[in-house]
Each structure stands twice: as structure tokens, then as C-alpha cells.
Structure 1
Amino acid sequence: MREIPIVFVGLMGAGKSTVGRLVAAALGREIRDSDDDLAARYGHTAAELAATVGPEVLHERESLVLREALTRRPPQVIGAAASIAEDPAALAALAAAFVVFLDGPPELLARRMLSSAHRPHFQPDLAKMLTEQRARRLPGFQAVADLTVDATRPPEEIAAEVLAAFGAAG
């Protein structure tokens, strides 16, 4: 098995946490998730941080927890915040990882977001917000992705594809 981290990137609601847990379990690795790391470190969810310290500080903290997770040994499976696609330091740090971009239509991802209060809603129209974020973040996601996967598929199928690609790339 390759001794590098696996990092899931994509917009909120793409399934990074769900698929990441499946891949981590299959590989016997620890799972790290940006949302959990933020809450553990700062005592607040991403939504709470966005409301109290603002989006810019939230995104700086999201980049920091990703870069720290990438240095942990043994390597882990990491669900990264979507904002890292706009942070040059985070994108550079991903060079040492196997990066999976989970891509899906903003309308579907917006519906998935409704079930999770910990995610920040920067606009009332979530589909519009995610469409705008996708337009800004797509170049960053594509630049670092070793594998791009359709996030509309069942998580088990996605996990199997990721594990096959990870093994084949090693």
C-alpha cells in the first residue's frame, strides 16, 4: 500500500466524509475531516465560525487544519474543506497526497446540505451559492486531482473506484 495520504476535495455535500470513512475503513487508516478538526480545535462548527469570525478567517483555519493533517504519520484519509481550492498553500501541500475530486451538480449538493447544520450557508439560495463556488474553485480542484469521480453515484461504488485507482497508481 502506498504510504501517502488520500485527500477528498469537492464542494460541500459532495460526500467527502461519507466516502472518506469507507476508504479509511477499507485501508485500516484513520479518517480526518475538516469539520471535525475545526470543532475540536476551535470549539465551533464551520457555520458558527463563519458567523463569528467571518468567511476569510474560517477559510484560513480550514487550510491550516488540512496542512497539519497532511503531515500526520501514518498517512490518513482526509476530507478537506472546499475552500482549500482557493488557497495556494493548501494546493501546494496536496502535491504529497493522492487527491480525489468528488464532483456533482450544485442542485444535488444543495439538497444534501440541508441535512447538515454544521455547514455554512453564505447565501439563502444554496444551489446558487454552490454554482458560484464551483465556478471559482473548479480550477483548483482540477489542478490537484489525481482522480475525478461523479459524486452522484452511491458511496460504496465511489469508494471501490478510489481504492482501485489508489492501488493502481502505486
Structure 2
Amino acid sequence: MRALIVYESMFGNTAAVADAIAAGLRPRFEVEVCPVSVAVNRPAPEVDLLVVGGPTHAFGLSRPATRQDAAGRTTTSVDTEIGVREWLDAALPVPAPRGAAAFGTKIARPPWLPGSAAKSVGRRLRQLGYHLVVPPTDFRVTDMTGPLTAGELERATAWAAQLTTSEPGVPRSPR
């Protein structure tokens, strides 16, 4: 079976989570990890499981303005034109139900801080006809630029292992 992980990352934290998820999927899936800036130039994925993630910006998915702000906070090249929001908004509905999962990165403190890229991704995936095999999940960073909090990469790998116990395309019951 094939899985595709599409992610958006400004400071490397979401990319690291995507790689950890790939490690958790590899026992059961042939996995491709793809930044959204590359995925945008490809046709719709023909995969058994689509996993999509991005950083939480301004209480949800990034926008061109929030990506521009992030680009000013790093020396790493940041694509400010395309993000997960735009990629999913341009995607066509799937012709038959397929499995998907949504993840995001989010600042750990304060814990009550609202908003989640993972929930926004999950909502968009459902609108496209995907079935979420597990609830959207956020992985925590210490502040805007990171790093990930202790244990989050291990948690991402364990979360991915949960995806392998579900049949792609068949939603799991909510927890």
C-alpha cells in the first residue's frame, strides 16, 4: 500500500514531524514525504492513505501574510505563495472514499491557546471526500520557531502506527 505525506514547514518542526510519521508508517506502507511546494506541481495523489500537515498560524492554517511574517523570522527559504490551505482549496474531490489523516504543529504554551492547523486540514480533507482514520492531532513546539517539545517526535511515530491499524478509507470511531 502507498501513503503520501504532504506538509508545510517554516522552521523545520513540521517537516521533522512528517519524517517521524513516515517512520511510523513504513512497516505497512510505501511512503513518500513531500513538501507542499512540490506537491502543488503534481497531479492528485493516487494513494491508499493521504497524510497532510502544517503549522498553526494565527489560529489556523497559514496564509500568504503569515508565511511572509515567518519568512522574516528565519534565514531558511520559505515559500510564501503556496501552503497547505491553497493546495487543499485547489484539490478536486476524491472519486471514491480514501483514508486520510491530519496533523499540525502548535505552540505548547499557553495550553488554552485556541486554533489548530490539524483541525483545519481535517475539515478540508473531509470536504474533499476523504475519511479521517484518526482524529486530527497537534504536535507541540516550545515557541513560534520551535523546537518541538520533548517526546513529540516519538509521539508522532506512535500516532502514525495507529494509522497502520486502520483500514484506509474506513473511518475509525471517534474517541
Q: Normalised by the size of structure 1, how large is the TM-score?
A: 0.45
Q: Normalised by the size of structure 2, how large is the TM-score?
A: 0.44
Return the structure number with greater relative CO, CA threshold 8 A, min gap 6.
1
The structure where helix makes up a greater share of residues is: 1
